[in-house]
């Protein structure tokens, strides 16, 4: 059965790219989309930043046609500011709006935003309701199991947020106090999915990093789809690998060197188009080692890739990478 959010049809068992600060920008989203991500989100955007018209926040509103369906994720601690930020973000014409009630980091959660709202469900409900009313777009929410081991309240959160109009919920199977430690626990996510009152799609998130795990957890936890974060960093092929495994029960071969290079070129080109050559080339530098992880003796190429100054030089080096490794593997 196809998963539906408003009038967005996501197909059967969609794979979502997680919102990731400093990672899921438009160039990265492009390569994830090319490799099978069914829906994506922007990095989280501060509602205060949007209202102040801060350049960093405003730039995160940039979305492109090829990315659809895409959601803009916002966070904040003040209900009026969240309402205003929703109105501003809606003007950027995303397909949906998403609220972050999951961010555990101090600068966010200790300022009354992100996961901190898990400690004040009434406020969370009021905030969500204000956001839903401030936009014609579907609103989704991303959160965690609860604040800590003693307050795993996401079951109640799911019901109450559905009641005020959210159209999908993604749950990361950790509490705030776990940060990113331990293993994600999806049992409560399954309970919510099985709650007869819950009609909206429930997406599981946390620790999906291989086709086998995706298939096993799909069966075990019965979610409507999955959101993938860290495993996609430097490895956007995770989406197509999981889909292939779902469809055939077989593993897709890992990306060839030529495919790795193609993704680098696409990422670089989008980066340069979006931010201009200087910043585009600079920001691309942190990605090379990820895209070639596990490739023998890549270090020398990486050193060169992070020191050249023009797009042409990067492309020439990438040509050399293909030539070098096809000669070795031939
Ligand atoms: C570098 C990084 C940045 C993140 N930024 C955000 C964010 O902006 N908004 C959000 O809701 N979650 C954010 N997260 C959490 C992820 O969306 C996701 O919930 C988490 O990484 C667990 O999924 P995974 O195990 O597939 O990575 C971030 C995670 C990482 C690693």
Ligand 1 near 172 CB (within 6 A)? yes
Instruction: Give exposure, 182-201, as e/b (b: 16+ Cβ within 10 Å).
Output: eebebebbbebbeeeebebb
Kindly compute the dihedral angle of the four CA atoms of residues 113, 116, 118, 122, in this order, to the nearest 10 degrees: -60
Instruction: Choose one of 15, 19, 206 to mutate for the ligand 1 pocket test, by most ligand atoms within 8 angstroms of C-beta.
Output: 19
pLDDT by residue for the chain (330 residues), tens only, comes to 899 999 999 999 999 999 999 999 999 999 999 999 999 999 999 999 999 999 999 999 999 999 999 999 999 999 999 999 999 999 999 999 999 999 998 888 888 999 999 999 999 999 999 999 999 999 999 999 999 999 999 999 999 999 999 999 999 999 999 999 999 999 999 999 999 999 999 999 999 999 999 999 999 999 999 999 999 999 999 999 999 999 999 999 999 999 999 999 999 999 999 999 999 999 999 999 999 999 999 999 999 999 999 999 999 999 999 999 988 765
Ligand 1 near 230 CB (within 6 A)? yes
Rounded Cα distance between 174 and 50, Å, is: 29
Q: Which two tokens stand for residue 26?
A: 């438009």
Rounded Cα distance between 22 and 287, Å, is: 12
Ligand 1 midpoint to CA 19 (Å):
6
Residue nearest to atom 29 of ligand 1 (CA): 20
CATH topology of domain 2-248: TIM Barrel (3.20.20)
Q: Are 104 and 144 in contact (CB under 8 A)?
A: yes
Ligand 1 midpoint to CA 81 (Å):
23
* CA terminus-to-terminus distance, the chain: 45
CB-based contacts of 25: which residues, under 8 Å, 6+ apart?
43, 60, 274
Ligand 1 midpoint to CA 5 (Å):
21
| 230 carries a ligand binding annotation | yes
Ligand 1 near 243 CB (within 6 A)? no
Ligand 1 near 96 CB (within 6 A)? no
Q: Say what the pLDDT of residue 327 is.
A: 81
- DSSP code per residue over 187-239: HHHHHHHH-TT--S-EEEES---SHHHHHHHHHHH--SEEEE-GGGTT-TTHH
| 142 carries a ligand binding annotation | yes
- Give the three-state DSSP class for 251: coil
Where do the domains of the chain lie? Answer: 2-248, 257-329
Just list the catalytic residues.
103
Ligand 1 near 21 CB (within 6 A)? yes
Ligand 1 near 20 CB (within 6 A)? yes
Ligand 1 midpoint to CA 197 (Å):
28
Smallest CA-to-CA distance from 214 within 179, 182, 249, 187 is with 249
Q: Tokens 């990067």 — which residue?
A: 314
Hey, what CATH class is 257-329 in?
mainly alpha
Whether the pTM exceeds 0.85: the reply is yes
Rounded Cα distance between 96 and 307, Å, is: 39
| 267 carries a ligand binding annotation | no
Ligand 1 midpoint to CA 95 (Å):
20
Residue nearest to atom 23 of ligand 1 (CA): 206
Helix axis angle for 257-284 and 26-34, nearest 10°, is 170
Q: Say what the pLDDT of residue 330 is.
A: 58
Ligand 1 near 43 CB (within 6 A)? yes
Q: Say what the pLDDT of residue 1 is.
A: 87
């Amino acid at each position: 059965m196809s998963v539906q959010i408003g009038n967005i049809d996501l197909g059967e068992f969609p794979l979502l790219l997680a919102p990731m600060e400093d990672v899921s920008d438009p160039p990265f989203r492009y390569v994830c989309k090319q490799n099978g991500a069914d829906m994506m989100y922007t990095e989280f955007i501060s509602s205060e930043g949007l209202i102040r018209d801060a350049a960093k926040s405003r730039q995160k509103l940039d979305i492109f046609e090829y990315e659809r369906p895409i959601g803009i994720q916002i966070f904040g601690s003040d209900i009026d500011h969240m309402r205003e930020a929703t109105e501003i973000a809606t003007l950027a014409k995303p397909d949906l709006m998403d609220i972050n009630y999951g961010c555990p980091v101090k600068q966010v959660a200790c300022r009354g935003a992100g996961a901190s709202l898990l400690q004040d469900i009434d406020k969370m409900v009021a905030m969500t309701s204000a956001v839903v009313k401030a936009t014609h777009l579907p609103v989704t929410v991303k959160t965690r199991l609860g604040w800590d081991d003693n307050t795993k309240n996401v079951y109640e959160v799911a019901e109450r947020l559905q009641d005020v109009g959210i159209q999908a919920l993604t749950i990361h199977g950790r509490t705030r106090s776990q940060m990113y430690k331990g293993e994600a626990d999806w049992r409560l996510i399954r309970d919510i999915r099985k709650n007869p009152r819950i009609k909206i799609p429930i997406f599981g998130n946390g620790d999906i990093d291989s086709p086998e795990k995706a298939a096993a957890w799909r069966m075990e936890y019965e979610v409507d789809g999955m959101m993938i974060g860290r495993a996609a960093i430097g490895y956007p092929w995770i989406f197509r690998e999981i889909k292939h495994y779902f469809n055939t029960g077989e593993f897709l071969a890992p990306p060839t060197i030529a495919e790795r290079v193609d993704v680098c070129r696409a990422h670089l080109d989008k980066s340069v188009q979006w931010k201009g050559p200087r910043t585009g080339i600079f920001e691309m530098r942190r990605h090379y080692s990820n895209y070639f992880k596990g490739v023998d003796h890549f270090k020398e190429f990486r050193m060169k890739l992070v020191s050249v100054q023009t797009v042409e030089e990067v492309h020439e080096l990438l040509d050399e990478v293909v030539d070098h490794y096809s000669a070795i593997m031939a």
